[in-house]
């Protein structure tokens, strides 16, 4: 007796890593073991010493194959079992461990766009659809493109046991969002990577591709982001801590350090238009969708809760954004 384990890892493609996976048949009763792959085919090694190691870190049911089959998210290691240079999870492990007592929690809003061929789903072969206005949370075949894929993806994520908290149609046709969390830093990032893999894999069966391109259509169309909602136990109890976190994100070189790590092409998306703040000007405010960081109105009203960093691109590495936010905010809040 055996089951199928789909090993999933993050490659070394620049400037934005992509997901890879392959299948191992494992004997029933055995855990998915450490495995390996050809790093020279993923921009992670030279041909002469091409072996990279797959270390399982997060396993969940495989909703596509069903039965006893599983998805196995891995860290990539060198053959001496130290973290590979492309392994951003290892750094997050260290930082999250150091600040665990503050109980940092994240909810990430993953925006993405469906494409069929070279056009966003819902865009005609020639020219453009009606301008933005009716698509966000819309209903009806004139406004909604790809709902059957979105529904199948949500079902697959829930069957896998991932903590999705919702989905919605976005401002541009063919553009959608799902939210993962609230969860701890490693958990939210692991689950987001698996949810992304399930998105590509689910859409594949519909003959549609999904992209995290932060600016998939040039012109007067919204970009795609990954708003990152964040709190610590102090922020969940006091408004003072909410303000302190917003201030910490604005201190010294922090705004540039964060923005530079918030996904390739972030300057092209953070223009100051289309519900963004300019990439080189840090700001925060209540209910302000034109600020870098938004304090939701309910949070001001309750005097506690969480903040939303609106800057990360859809193509951000969740291991990186969660590490930076924990590092910046938790270091300031423990003073």
Residues 10 and 89: their CA atoms lie apart, in Å, by 10
For ligand ADP, give the closer residue by CB, 34 or 273: 273
Q: Which of 33, 35, 111 is nearest to 77 (CA)?
A: 35
Distance CA 96, CA 298 (A): 27
- Taking each helix axis from N to C end, the angle separating 147-159 and 185-204, rounded to the nearest 10 degrees, works out to 130
Among 69, 75, 109, 190, binds Mn ion (CB under 5 A): 109
Q: Is 4 in the site for ligand ADP (CB under 6 A)?
A: no
Nearer to ligand ADP by C-beta: 165 or 271?
A: 165
Q: Is 107 in the site for ligand ADP (CB under 6 A)?
A: yes
CB of 132 to Mn ion, least distance (A): 13
Give SS3 for 109.
strand
Q: Are 314 and 199 in contact (CB under 8 A)?
A: no
| Of the candidate residues 77, 105, 203, 212, the single one contacting ligand ADP (CB under 6 A) | 105
Sheet holding 70-77, edge to edge: 19-27, 2-10, 70-77, 51-61, 35-38
Peptide bond into 200 cis (omega under 30): no
Binding mask 151-170 for ligand ADP (x = CB under 6 A): --------------xx----
Q: Which does 306 bind (CB under 5 to 8 A by kind): ligand ADP, Mn ion, none?
A: ligand ADP
C-alpha 55 chain-centroid distance: 21
Question: Taking the complex as a whole, how short is the minimal distance between the CB of residue 89 and ligand ADP, in angstroms?
Answer: 20
The single-letter DSSP state of residue 83 is B
* Residue 275: CB minimum distance to ligand ADP, A: 10
Of the candidate spans 28-36, 52-60, 191-199, 303-311, the one that interacts with ligand ADP by CB under 6 A turns out to be 303-311
Residue nearest to Mn ion (CB): 227
Dihedral angle sign, alpha carbons of residues 260, 262, 264, 267: negative
Sites for Mn ion among residues 160-199 (CB under 5 A): 177
For ligand ADP, which residue of 55, 156, 229, 313 counts as binding (CB under 6 A)? 229
Residue of 206, 190, 204, 150 lying closest to 174 (CA atoms): 150
102 binds ligand ADP (CB under 6 A): no
- 3 state DSSP class of 115: strand
**Per CB under 6 A, 305 contacts ligand ADP:** yes
Residue 135 binding ligand ADP, by CB under 6 A: no
- The least CB distance from residue 66 to Mn ion, in Å, is 28
Judged by the rule CB under 6 A, the positions of this chain that interact with ligand ADP are 105-107, 109, 165-166, 179, 181-182, 227, 229-231, 236, 305-306, 308
């Amino acid at each position: 007796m055996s089951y199928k384990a789909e090993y999933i890892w993050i490659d070394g493609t620049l400037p934005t890593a992509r997901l890879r996976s392959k299948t191992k048949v494992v004997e029933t009763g055995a855990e998915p073991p450490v495995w390996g792959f050809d790093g020279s085919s993923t921009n992670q090694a030279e041909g002469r010493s091409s072996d990279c190691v797959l270390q399982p870190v997060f396993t969940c049911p495989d909703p596509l194959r069903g039965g006893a089959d599983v998805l196995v998210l891995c860290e990539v290691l060198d053959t001496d079992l130290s973290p590979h240079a492309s392994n951003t999870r290892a750094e997050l492990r260290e930082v999250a461990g150091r600040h665990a007592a503050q109980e940092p929690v994240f909810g990430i809003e993953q925006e993405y766009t469906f494409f069929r061929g070279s056009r966003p789903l819902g865009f005609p072969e020639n020219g453009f659809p009606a301008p933005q206005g009716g698509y966000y949370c819309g209903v009806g075949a004139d406004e909604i493109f790809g709902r059957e894929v979105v529904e199948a993806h949500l079902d697959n994520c829930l069957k896998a046991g991932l903590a999705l908290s919702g989905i919605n149609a976005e401002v541009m046709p063919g553009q959608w969002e799902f939210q993962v969390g609230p969860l701890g830093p490693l958990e939210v990032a692991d689950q987001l990577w698996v949810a992304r893999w399930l998105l590509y894999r689910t859409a594949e069966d519909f003959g549609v591709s999904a992209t995290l391109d932060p600016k998939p259509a040039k012109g007067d169309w919204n970009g795609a982001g990954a708003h990152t909602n964040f709190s610590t136990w102090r922020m969940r109890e006091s408004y003072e801590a909410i303000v302190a976190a917003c201030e910490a994100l604005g201190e010294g070189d922090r705004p540039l350090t964060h923005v530079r790590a918030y996904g390739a092409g972030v300057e092209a998306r953070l223009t100051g238009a289309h519900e963004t703040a300019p990439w080189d000007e840090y700001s925060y405010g209540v209910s302000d969708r034109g600020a870098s960081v938004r304090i939701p109105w309910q949070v001001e009203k309750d005097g506690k809760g969480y903040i939303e960093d609106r800057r990360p691109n859809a193509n951000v590495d969740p291991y990186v954004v969660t590490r930076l936010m924990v590092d910046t905010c938790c270091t300031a809040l423990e003073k």
